[in-house]
Structures are given as C-alpha cells and as structure tokens.
Amino acid sequence: HNALHDDVDLEALVNDMNSSLESLSSSLRRSQPMHILAVRRLQEAEQQLRTSSLPAIPNPFPELCSLANSPVLSPGSLPPGEPSTGIYIVKVFSEDGLGKVVEIPAGMTARDLCQLLVYKSHCVDDNSWALVEHHPLLGLERCLEDHELVIQVQASMSSGSRFLFRKNYAKYEFFRNTHTFFPEHMVAWCQETNRTIPPSQLLQNFLATSSCPEIQGYLYVKDVGRKSWKKVYMFLRRSGLYCSAKGTSKEPRHLQFLADLEDSSIFTVITGKKLHGAPTDYEFCIKPNKCRGESKELRMLCAEDEQGRTCWMTAFRLFKYGIVLYQNYKIPLQRKTLLSHFSAPVRSVSENSLVAMDFSGRIGRVIENPLEAQSAAMEEGHAWRKRSQRMNVLGSHSPLHHSSLSSVIHIAQMWFHGRITREESHRLIHQQGQVDGLFLLRVSQSNPKAFVLTLCHHQKIKHFQILPCEEDGQVFFSLDDGATKFTDLIQLVEFYQLNRGVLPCKLKHPCTVVAL
C-alpha cells in the first residue's frame, strides 16, 4: 500500500513538473531571463525524481565547466545577429604585432573592451582608443562603433582577420568641426538653399530621421570582376548609394542603386594602388556584412582627395547610425564632467597655512614681509642648484650628466618613436585620424644628431627639423633656427602644446603606439 502511494505521489509530481514547464515555456521569451527561484524548484524536483538505487554519473569532462577553459569563438562560428550568452575568448593585437587574449561576455561592446584593454595595459584613458577590424588579405580596415557587440562582429570576420587596439582621434571629430568634414559643395542641401548653413543646423539635419540631406560628387568606381575604374557622379542618401547613368542627373530613371547602408559597413582600403590598381591613394570600400572574404562582393570606390574620402565615409556612418553616434560621443564627455567634481585636487589645511620661515638665527622666525619671503625663496633655489651641481661633479646619486640626460630623457615619452622612416610616420598619422595637432617626434634620417617633428594640419602632414645648438658649453634644441631654445625635447613639446609659435597649429594629440 505504501509503495502504491509513493508511485501515485511520484506520478502527481511528474504531472506538476510538466505543467509547470509548459507554463514556463509559454511565458518565457528568448530575450527574457528565467527567475532563479523557478530554476531552483526544477532542480529540487529533479533531485526528488532521481532514485537512490541508481549511482550518480560523474562528469567525464570537468575541465569544460571551469571558467579558465571558456569556449573559444572562432571567426564564423556564431551567426551574425543571433543572441548569445556566455564567456568568449577574443584576441586583440597591438601595432607591434603582439596580441593579448581576453575573456569577455557576449554582450560586451567595443567601448567596454577598449576600456578593459586600457586598464590592463596601464594606458591613459582619454576616450580616443578604438577597436579596429582589420582584414589583411583584402587590405581593409574600419574602426568599430562604440556600441557594436564585439562577439557579433568577430562572428562575421574571416579566419585571417583580426582586431587591432589603436588610437583614433577622428572618431567623433565631425561633431566639433562639421564644416571641415562636410564641404558645402558636396552637400546637396547647402547647394539648393544657396546660402551658408550654420554647423549646428547642418549636423541636426544629418542626425534627424525626418530631414533628407544628400552627399554628392564624382567618385571612381571599380567594375565588378574587372580591373578598370570609371568616374561617375554619386549620390549618398539614407536609402543607399546611387550613381547617375547620365551626367549629374538626379532623375529616378537615371539613378542606379549600388550599395545598401543597413547591412553593409564602410572600410578604408590600405593597399589601394598595389592590390586594386586604384587611380588615387584615397580609396574606400563598402563591404556587405555577410561577405567574409570574397572580393567580388566588395564595392570599391576612390575619391580625388582626403577630404572627399572623409566626407563620404563620415556621411555613411551618420546615415547608418544617426543619433546613436551622437550618444556615443556624449557619454564619455558626461562621465568626464561628473568625475571632474571629484578628481579636482583639494589643498589640505596644512598647505593653506604654510608660511615662510627664517632659520638663520638660534630660533625660527616667521617672515611677514612678502618681498623678504620671495627673496628667501630665490636664495634657497640657487643654493639647491649649487648643491645638485656639486653632487653631479662628485659623482653621487645622479649617474647622468645634464647634457647626456637631456639627450635621452625623451625616449620614454609616448610621442617619441625613435628611428622610424618618413613613410612610417605618415602611416601612423593616417591611422590615428589626421586631425589638426596630431604629432610625433622621431630621429632625423639625414642628420643623426637632429630630430623631426611630424605634425598634421588640415589633413596634410608636415615635417619640422629640430636642430641642436650649443651655447656656453650647453646643448639646446630649437626648430626655429635658434630663436627659441629648449634644454630638452620634453620642454620643447610642452612649450608648443601651449604656444603655436612658428607651427601652423598647437601640438594637441600625441601619436601613441602601445604594446599590449
């Protein structure tokens, strides 16, 4: 009788479980989390159903359950756009070719991964770091938007592609200098109104979904499956990229659809002339997201100059993402404003109550006269310099003489790149955004004792030679033929960060390469 009673209870428990599972499955959606209490009830019910006569089956692969052996996401293993959960392994490379493996959740964005790499590499977090999708076989690369999911992007990449961790100062520069990025002759709306458009109004029209701005101009297009290029008049709208079959006509019967914005991404072509025989150096490409490595599906385009290429590529991003880009731009600024209230240095009470003292007599005396206090401070400074020079002569704590120290003190600076070529400096400046004030210092190839300041201004790269000059036995550095002299390169850079001097603009953004 007891055994029969137990069987009835067990059957009732199974029926209750089935009904609860059906109700749970009907109420749950794919993106909704299951409540922890419901999971615990199911686990307890399974424990009751398990008979005591059967031995527990051990897990034959316990190492697969540990966090240290998380599943590796190989490119192409996850369909793009599919929701996913769990921890995945992503490898990110730095400029020196070395990579760092990091474990990230499926929902981590490009901005979050950049902040994680900044923390792990001890970099300065100035919101200019970016994650770059790099395709070496196709010669393409693009900067991921801050809100993009890293796992979904990697799932659409081919096996030879990789992520790069790099500076990109131009990611949101068009929000600050709208007219520089969108010249009026390329914006159809500016041409139709026939007047000067305020930058704020121009930007609002790009961000608003109701307004319909349009980018227009000539571009070189590569024929699909051929090596030849032809020059045609193009129109970029929210609905896609079009070319005119008859001159500059905008009539619908003359327009041909070339590329979609929604399911495509725009890339910079880094090997244009070599790989594709491009007519200029300013090539870019529209790549469908479903395309993994087939060059025949790529839409190759080429502009006349750098400003034209930047305009087309920036408009593509704005049309595709709209207000989301502006939100990505504002979030770090708002966070910086909030943190500024707490990060400002606060002077302690003891610092506020500091006074000048005179200890020349038997007892200390407070110096109340401001002029006497200033004179005492200058005397103390001169005495300290004499002591430090005497220590250097005697060979004490400072192993380097001042002249030798000034010649090597800049080596550890983020803007100094050593003995790189002029072409390599151009490549670094191009990669990191070509914004005004982007600079680096390198050793001169023509004069081993001199240095070169490489500076970007108006999307053009200029070089200024820094020559050593000797005065009273001491070596100084100058880039204006000795009119302004500096004891070392750090002092020179700090001066031109505050003063333009003979340069076309101030030094604003150091061109930095970080080893992960």
Residue 70, C-beta contacts closer than 8 angstroms, at least 6 positions apart: 86, 87, 88, 89, 103
Tell me how far apart the alpha carbons of residues 285 and 140 are, in angstroms, rounded to a whole number.
Answer: 8
Residue with tokens 């087939």: 294
Encode pLDDT of 195-244 as tens digits.
666 777 778 888 887 777 889 999 999 887 778 899 999 999 988 999 99
In whole angstroms, what is the distance from residue 127 CA to residue 339 CA? 14
User: What would the 3-class secondary structure string for 402-456 be?
Assistant: HHHHHCCCCCCCCCECCCCCHHHHHHHHHHCCCCCCEEEEEECCCCCCCEEEEEE
Q: What average pLDDT does the structure give for the chain?
A: 78
Average pLDDT over residues 183-192: 78
SS (H, E, C) 113-149: HHHHHHHHHCCCCCCCEEEEEEECCCCEEEECCCCCE
Phi first, then psi: give them for residue 396, nearest 5 degrees.
-100, -120
The torsion of the CA quartet 117, 123, 124, 130, rounded to 10 degrees, works out to -40
Q: Which range scores top for mean pLDDT: 150-164, 176-190, 272-286?
A: 150-164
Classify burial at 167, counting beta carbons within 10 Å of its beta carbon; exposed 0-12, middle 13-18, buried 19 or more: buried
Which secondary-structure segment (H or E) carries 463? strand 460-471
d(CA 222, CA 278): 8
What's the full length of the chain, in residues?
516
Among residues 152, 145, 154, 141, the alpha carbon closest in space to that of 92 is found at 154
Residue 353 in contact with residue 234, Cβ under 8 Å? no
pLDDT tens for residues 284-327?
A: 999 988 876 666 788 999 999 999 999 999 999 999 998 999 99
Q: What is the DSSP letter of 307?
A: H
- For residue 340, what pLDDT band results from cuts at 50, 70 and 90? low
Residue 473: enclosing H or E segment and its boundaries?
none
DSSP class of residue 467? Answer: E
**pLDDT tens digit string along 74-116?**
444 454 445 457 899 999 998 878 889 999 999 999 999 999 9
Of 441, 422, 447, the C-alpha closest to 496 is 441
Strands 438-443 and 509-510, by their bridges, are: parallel
Give the position of tokens 């010649």.
407
HSE at residue 284, side-chain half, CA atoms within 13 A, is 20
Strand ranges, E, within 303-358: 357-358
Give me 387's structure tokens: 């002591």
Cβ atoms within 10 A of the Cβ of 453, count? 21
Tokens of 65: 């359950």
For residues 135 and 122, the answer to whether their CB atoms sit within 8 Å is no
Beta bridge partners of 129: 167
pLDDT value, residue 141: 93
Q: What stretch of H or E contains 234?
A: strand 229-237
Residue 107 CA to its chain's centroid (Å): 19
Model confidence at 11: pLDDT above 50: yes
According to DSSP, the β-strands at 283-288 and 162-167 are unpaired
At 274 the pLDDT is 75
Return the higher-pLDDT residue of 416 and 76.
Answer: 416
Question: Residues 235, 242: contact at Cβ < 8 Å?
Answer: yes
Q: Which residues face 103 on adjacent strands?
A: 89
- Bridge partners for 510 per DSSP: 439
Q: How many CB atoms lie within 10 A of CB 14?
A: 13
For the ranges 174-178, 183-187, 362-366, the lowest mean pLDDT is seen at 362-366
Q: What HEC string does 83-109 produce?
A: CCCCEEEEEEECCCCCEEEEEEECCCE
pTM over cut 0.85: no
Phi first, then psi, for residue 315 (nearest 5°) are -65, -35
Whether the per-residue pLDDT at 444 is higher than 80: the answer is yes
- Give the model's pLDDT for residue 184: 83
- Is the distance from CB of 300 to CB of 222 less than 8 angstroms? yes
